[in-house]
Structures are given as structure tokens and as C-alpha cells.
């Protein structure tokens, strides 16, 4: 019998011109696989969190832009690029904080431009020689979107291997929100070390913060870890300090939606609180981040735009009856920023990066160009 880990988080159904995803708003009660055919459907799926998690959003964006452009009627290279950029901007507007979204869209455009030069001989967007070949560019967009997905799986596995070096037999681990397989294409980021530890037979216990108000820890992380056979315990967000004080937690692994050049990391709301308490109890706090999530063009966490969500997520969602007075104001940021001084290490596919982050993140990129 299939469990949640047997399904692909994001996939391209090319013969149906569709992006296929697990509708994560229905988990854990129902595993609904849905197909998205239009740009509006893909935009809504990202905004409404039917597909979520920075890496998975990036993969969905790559597939989505290809589907968007598959039947372009552009007759010139300039028209094709103009259409691609307009549709890319539209998809990018669905969520502002996760850098993987804009990263994947920029990568798709860059690939189109590289192919135009290398395969078609177009050296100028005006294409005065009329060398434009729409079919070649569309085919290359499909292949590039598939590469983004394949690389995501490889990167998550490598993050898991690097994170595994930080785990010992008998460890209790805490995570916040969902940086698991449901947020990527396989393994996850923060959960990748946990899956590999479990595969190797290490005795670990994983504690999942519930993650208000959207309950990603309860609905998604606890669901997938339990499905994998990992010893899993769920707790409300405001219980994590009590748990840490008992000595049950040996390390904390979280994902992120954007890392600034100085090592500040934006992740699901509540993460910075976990990091602050972890510092108080001398518990190492690790951010698991594929390099596609590290934005060297963002200087510090203060420069990261934080998405504000609808108040109904706090006052009404999940309840049979409204649980707050009518008219009350609601503060509902989707993310917060954890200061780099609270982070013990950033686990990437190239290794565990330690402070000073500004220098060492730059060095990592320079060495792995």
C-alpha cells in the first residue's frame, strides 16, 4: 500500500500539458493528486500552498514556465523573450520570500538565451538574421526544467549526507515547519539527515513543532516522518522551550526560504524563537539550505521581504467556529529571520558552512563555480 513518500511532490505530465502535484492543503486526511494546466492554476497553487517549500516551488516554477510557453505563438526571438519575461514575472509574483522561485525562473530565461547563442547563433535579441527557432527553445526549456528537478533530488541527498555528520546514535532532534520531502522532490532539506540516519539504523527521535497557523509541522512533517517509520513526536510551538530544557534535544535542523549573504536566514514564522531558545540551552541550531536558496545579492536579513498572509489563517482556519472576536486586528507574517549569530552552521550540498558566514559563504561559491 502506498504511503505519502511513494508519491512525487512535483512532476511534469508533458503529454497532458500539466504540472502534477500533491495538494498539500488536504494532507494528512486526503492524498489528492491534482493536475494544473494554466498559468493561473499554477500561480494559485503556489500562493495557496498546494505546492510549497522553497525547493519544490522552484521546481514547480520551472515546469510551469515551460508549460506556459509550450504553445507560444511568438514569431520572433524578441517576441518570445518578451512573452517569457511577462509570464515569468507573473509566476514570480505568487510568493515573494522564497528565493528558489525567482532563481528557477531566472535560470530558465538564462538557459533560453544561452541556447539561442550556442545552438541558433542568435547574438542579439533583435535577431536581424532571423535565426529564431521556437521548437528548439521550447524543447530546451523542457529539458532544463527536468534538470532542475533532478538536481534538487541530488542536492537534498548531499545535504542529508553532510547533515548526518552532525547526528549521533540516540539523538533527539527538533524541527520546525516542513522542510521534508513534501517541500522538495525527495529527502527534503532539514529532514534529509533524519531519513539517512534512519536508513543507517541510528536510533533517533524526532520532535516536530506544530507550526501555527498553517500547521505544516503537524499535517506534513509528522505525517511523512511517521510514514517513514521514524520515532516521531508532535508538540505545539510554545512547548519547544520546555522540551529543550529537559535535555531531550541534542540538535535542531530547520529549512529556509532565503539565506542572506551574511548568514541571516528567513524561514517559517517561529523559527527565530526556536533558535533563540536553543542558544539559551546550548543546543546546536542548523539551517539546511541548498545553494539555490542562498541569495548573495541580499546583504542581510533586514533586506528580505516578508510575506504577510490573510488574517483568516489565524482567526478561522481549522476551526468549526471562528476562534477570535470579529474585527480584531491580526499580525500574520509567513516568515521570520533568524540572526546569523544564532546559527551553528548552514548545511549545504557542499558541506557545513560555519561563521563568519559572509566570508565563508562567498568562499563556498567561489570554490564551486
Q: What is the mean pLDDT of the chain?
A: 96
What is the rounded distance in angstroms from the CA atom of residue 211 to the CA atom of residue 219? Answer: 9
Query: Residue 97: which pLDDT band, with cuts at 50, 70 and 90?
Result: confident
Residue 115: its pLDDT value, please? 97
127, 152, 237, 257: the active-site residue: 257
**Among candidate residues 173, 257, 182, 164, the one with its CA nearest the CA of residue 209:** 173
**Residue 355 carries which DSSP code?**
S
Which phi-psi region, left, alpha or beta, contains residue 53 (left: φ > 0; alpha: ψ -120 to 50)?
Answer: left
| Confidence band of 369 (pLDDT split at 50, 70, 90) | confident
pLDDT digits (tens, 9 = 90+) for 114-145: 999 999 999 999 999 999 999 999 999 999 99
pLDDT digits (tens, 9 = 90+) for 206-216: 999 999 999 99
pTM of the model: 0.93
Rounded Cα distance between 107 and 85, Å, is 12
Beta bridge partners of 134: none
Going by pLDDT thresholds of 50, 70 and 90, the confidence category of residue 60 is very high
Q: Report DSSP letters for 163-177, one per residue.
A: HHTT--TT-EEEE-S
**pLDDT value of position 113:** 97
What pLDDT score was predicted for residue 14? 95
Q: What is the pLDDT of residue 2?
A: 80
**Do 245 and 278 meet the contact criterion of CB atoms below 8 Å apart?**
no
Radius of gyration of the chain from its Cα atoms, rounded to whole angstroms? 21
Asked if 326 contacts 88 with a C-beta cutoff of 8 angstroms, the reply is no
Looking up cell 506556459 gives 68
- Report CA 317 to chain centroid distance, whole Å: 23
Q: What angle do CA 196, 294, 258 make, to 5 degrees?
A: 90
The interaxial angle of helices 54-69 and 134-164, nearest 10 deg, is 170
Cell triple for 346? 548552514
Helix intervals (H) in 35-133 = 39-47, 54-69, 77-92, 99-118
Tens digits of residue pLDDT in 276-313: 999 999 999 999 999 999 999 999 999 999 999 999 99
Question: What sign does the dihedral 184-49-7-10 (CA atoms) show?
Answer: negative
List, for residues 218-237, the tens digit of each pLDDT value: 999 999 999 999 999 999 99
Residue 23 falls in the annotated catalytic set: no
Q: Is the pLDDT of residue 173 over 80?
A: yes
Residue 99 has pLDDT above 90, yes or no: no
Q: Which domains does the chain have, with CATH numbers?
A: 4-156 (1.20.120.420), 162-367 (3.40.50.10470)
Res 1: pLDDT:
67
Amino acid at each position: 500500500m502506498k504511503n505519502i513518500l511513494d508519491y512525487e511532490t512535483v512532476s511534469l505530465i508533458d503529454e497532458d500539458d500539466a504540472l502534477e502535484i500533491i495538494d498539500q492543503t488536504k494532507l494528512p486526511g486526503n492524498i489528492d493528486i491534482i493536475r494544473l494546466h494554466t498559468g493561473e492554476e499554477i500561480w494559485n497553487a503556489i500562493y495557496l500552498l498546494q505546492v510549497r517549500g522553497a525547493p519544490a516551488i522552484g521546481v514547480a516554477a520551472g515546469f510551469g514556465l515551460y508549460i506556459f510557453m509550450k504553445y507560444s505563438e511568438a514569431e520572433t526571438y524578441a517576441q518570445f523573450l518578451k512573452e517569457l519575461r511577462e509570464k515569468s514575472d507573473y509566476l514570480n509574483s505568487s510568493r515573494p520570500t522564497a528565493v528558489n522561485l525567482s532563481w528557477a525562473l531566472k535560470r530558465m530565461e538564462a538557459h533560453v538565451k544561452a541556447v539561442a547563442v550556442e545552438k541558433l547563433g542568435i547574438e542579439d535579441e533583435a535577431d536581424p538574421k532571423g535565426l529564431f527557432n521556437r521548437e528548439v527553445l521550447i524543447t530546451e526549456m523542457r529539458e532544463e526544467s527536468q534538470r532542475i528537478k533532478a538536481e534538487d533530488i541530488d542536492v537534498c541527498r548531499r545535504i542529508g549526507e553532510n547533515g548526518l555528520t552532525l547526528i549521533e546514535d540516540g539523538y533527539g532532534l527538533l524541527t520546525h515547519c516542513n522542510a521534508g520531502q513534501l517541500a522538495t522532490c525527495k529527502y527534503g532539506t532539514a529532514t534529509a539527515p533524519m531519513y539517512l540516519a534512519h536508513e543507517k539504523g541510528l536510533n533517533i527521535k524526532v520532535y516536530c513543532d506544530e507550526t501555527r497557523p498553517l500547521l505544516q509541522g503537524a499535517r506534513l512533517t509528522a505525517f511523512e516522518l511517521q510514514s517513514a517509520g521514524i520515532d516521531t513526536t508532535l508538540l505545539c510551538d510554545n512547548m519547544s522551550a520546555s522540551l529543550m530544557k529537559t535535555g531531550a534535544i541534542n540538535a535542531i535542523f530547520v529549512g529556509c526560504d532565503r539565506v542572506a549573504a551574511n548568514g541571516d536566514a528567513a524561514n517559517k514564522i517561529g523559527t527565530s524563537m526556536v533558535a533563540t531558545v536553543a542558544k539559551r540551552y546550548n543546543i546546536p541550531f542548523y539551517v539546511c539550505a541548498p545553494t539555490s536558496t542562498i541569495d548573495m545579492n541580499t546583504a542581510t536579513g533586514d533586506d528580505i521581504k516578508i510575506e504577510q498572509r490573510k488574517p483568516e489563517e489565524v482567526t478561522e482556519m481549522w476551526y468549526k467556529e471562528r476562534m477570535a472576536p470579529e474585527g480584531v486586528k491580526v499580525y500574520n507574517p509567513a516568515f521570520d529571520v533568524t540572526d546569523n549569530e544564532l546559527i551553528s552552521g548552514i548545511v549545504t550540498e557542499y558541506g557545513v558552512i560555519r561563521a563568519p558566514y559572509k566570508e565563508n559563504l562567498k568562499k563556498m561559491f567561489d570554490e564551486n563555480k
